[in-house]
Chain A
Amino acid sequence: MHTLKLLSSFFKVNVQMSLAYRADTVVNILLNLMWLGWELLSLNIIFSNTTTLGGWGFAELIALLGVFRLVNTLMMALIWPNTEKFNQSIRDGSMDYTILQPVNSMFLVTFSRITVWRIWDLILAITLIVVGINMTGDTTTALHILTFILLATTGTIVIYSLWIVLIALTFWFTKFDNNVTILHALLDSGRYPATVYPVWLRVIVTFIVPIAVATTIPLQALRGDLNLGQVAIFFFVGVGSFIIASQVWKAGLKRYSGASS
């Protein structure tokens, strides 16, 4: 309950910050509307020319795109701005204040900046997912949809955990501004289903880089390609990665408090 209240406080403050500069606000709204138009247009182009890609059906592709966009929104609305703030707070020392607040510091680092304009993207992503699922038709059962949602959440958590590990590395290296660039490079490969890549790349994408976990695997669940055992494995991978990330974060904080002056 308190977490929700905090989240809404953060959201409010971020709306206030976004509205602080009028010209900037207007440009942002226009830009985001333009982006949205462009995204819809490109979707239209893709779907008017293609019905399958790497053996995936039209409806599944829409849902996949939705999941991809969801992860992308997470990147744009939270991960990018908070990484920027994080790197800055390490440099100027305001990290000290973050650590001394009586709230989990990982939570603070995740939500203190929110790019509120990305709310459109969130709506678009969810719409795409809902439309995609609807289009898959009768073959999709409620269980498939449920496992899809579960694994999409899991995948998001895996990406999030990867991010936490990447920024926590800053505690050791002090200057590690490339942390986001790396993550972004990794994430972009998730735009298309892992099966369209050559085998070697697929291995990397699936096992070394867990992006496929966030996009392709939920889709496989939606198609009913996964049995419950596999679903359970992926779910535990998600839980595991979160636990590992929290531990790395804790170790990073300890390192910070051991080294900084």
Chain B
Amino acid sequence: MSPTITVQQLSKTYQVPEREGGFGAAVRSFFKRKYKDVKAVQQVDFKIEQGEVVGFLGPNGAGKTTTLKMLSGLLHPTGGKAEVLGFTPWELRPDYLRSMTLVMGQRNRLSWDIPAADSFLLNQAIYRIPDDEYKKTYKELDELLELEPLMKKPVRNLSLGERMKCEIAAGLLHRPKVLFLDEPTIGLDITGQVRIREFLREYNKRTGATILLTSHYMADVTALCERIIIIHHGNLKYDGGISDLSKKIAPFKLIGMMLTEPDSHDLSKYGEPVQNEEDAAKKYIQVKAEDVTRVTSKLLADLPIHDITITDPPIEDVIEQAFNQ
């Protein structure tokens, strides 16, 4: 079976008007506008199989949203190919649009002034969902997201977290096979994030839907995705298992030590000292993975150590390291 999503050499270059600051420059730019090419996505390749949940990571402006928009069909690429469920997304075939969804955390699809239930019914008509199927899907979504209490209030009276639940549900009423989620938890508090995360995991398990999501919250990604794709300055930096990431990008381990006189020892000769705000009582150093055993035994021999731990560096740090490469 061919992969659900295939992306080959996908590229997108924007032309962005550019001018110096200041009044004179504004007037000059009115008559003669200069454009600059911005390469948002550069020859990106990847494949995603049916049922996979893939985290799409990168700093702001890395090209994540542009890629999602091309895959959902909103943007035409300037180069390369993409195929989702056998369709070329930007042809915008109704059959394609009925089998995918794009949920953007910062955009609203629900009407502000009426309860979400009414907007849901409009979606039912737009996506031609038969009544019995609609009821079934709604019941399932209600079970997972506890929508019922939210359905009767106008959307403008819902909290951000409640609204996001409704927005996501609205995007799933037609039972899409592919979900593109752009920052689905943005602005939510921890409980809200966890709810959405748990929902997505359960939804993926129940329906076998393929999910590609971007998020600024690393916890979203570590909780949901076994595989991540990292993109930076439009280039693909990493594509693989989340557990292999630290091996490949940052083959380091963290050694944490509890010392009798913490500040009287020079740790820099054993490895690179690292700050850890959460655990200030311990001293941390970062060493290469292959040196861990050697350095540990040396440390134990040289220093008055009460306690020692060896851990992988936090995923955030690893990814940041990937960005800086």
A residues adjacent to B (C-beta < 8 A): 2, 5-6, 9-10, 12-13, 16-17, 20-21, 92-94, 96-97, 99-103, 254, 257-261
Contacts and interface: CB of A to CB of B under 8 A. Distances in A.
Contacts of B90: 257
Nearest to A6: B125
A102 B114 contact: no
Contact of B75 (A2, A6, A102, A258): A258
B97 A102 contact: yes
A99 B121 CA distance: 19
Contacts of B94: 102-103
Interface residues of B, number: 35
A17 B40 CA distance: 39
Interface in B116-148: 118-119, 121-122, 125-128
A38 B98 CA distance: 48
Contacts of B72: 100
Interface string B58-79: 0000000110010011111000
B113 A97 contact: no
A16 B104 contact: no
B208 to A, nearest CB: 22
A92 B112 CA distance: 14
Interface of B: 14-15, 40, 65-66, 69, 72-76, 90, 92, 94-95, 97-98, 102, 104, 106-109, 111, 113-114, 118-119, 121-122, 125-128, 154
B171 to A, nearest CB: 9
A17 B156 CA distance: 12
Contact of B126 (A16, A20, A101, A257): A101
Nearest to B95: A102
Contacts of B74: 96, 99-100, 257, 260
A93 B73 contact: no
A256 B103 CA distance: 19
Nearest to A96: B74
Contacts of A101: 97, 126-127
Nearest to A9: B125
Given A94-B109, A96-B102, A102-B94, A20 B122 contact: no
12 contacts: A2-B128, A6-B125, A9-B121, A9-B126, A16-B114, A16-B118, A94-B109, A99-B74, A101-B97, A102-B95, A259-B15, A260-B74
A194 to B, nearest CB: 39
A113 B120 CA distance: 16
A2 B118 CA distance: 18
Contacts of B65: 261
Contacts of A93: 104, 106-107
Contacts of B108: 92, 94
A10 to B, nearest CB: 7
Given A17-B113, A17-B114, A258-B76, A96 B104 contact: yes
Contact of A5 (B14, B40, B125, B154): B125
Nearest to A5: B125
A13 B154 contact: no
Counting chain B CB atoms within 10 Å of each CB, which of A96, A102, A258 scores highest?
Answer: A102
A100 B90 CA distance: 10
Contacts of B73: 99-100
A261 B127 contact: no
Given A16-B114, A258-B76, A92 B122 contact: no
Given A13-B118, A92-B108, A102-B97, 6 more contacts: A9-B125, A17-B114, A93-B107, A100-B74, A102-B128, A254-B76
Contacts of B98: 102
Contacts of A12: 118, 121
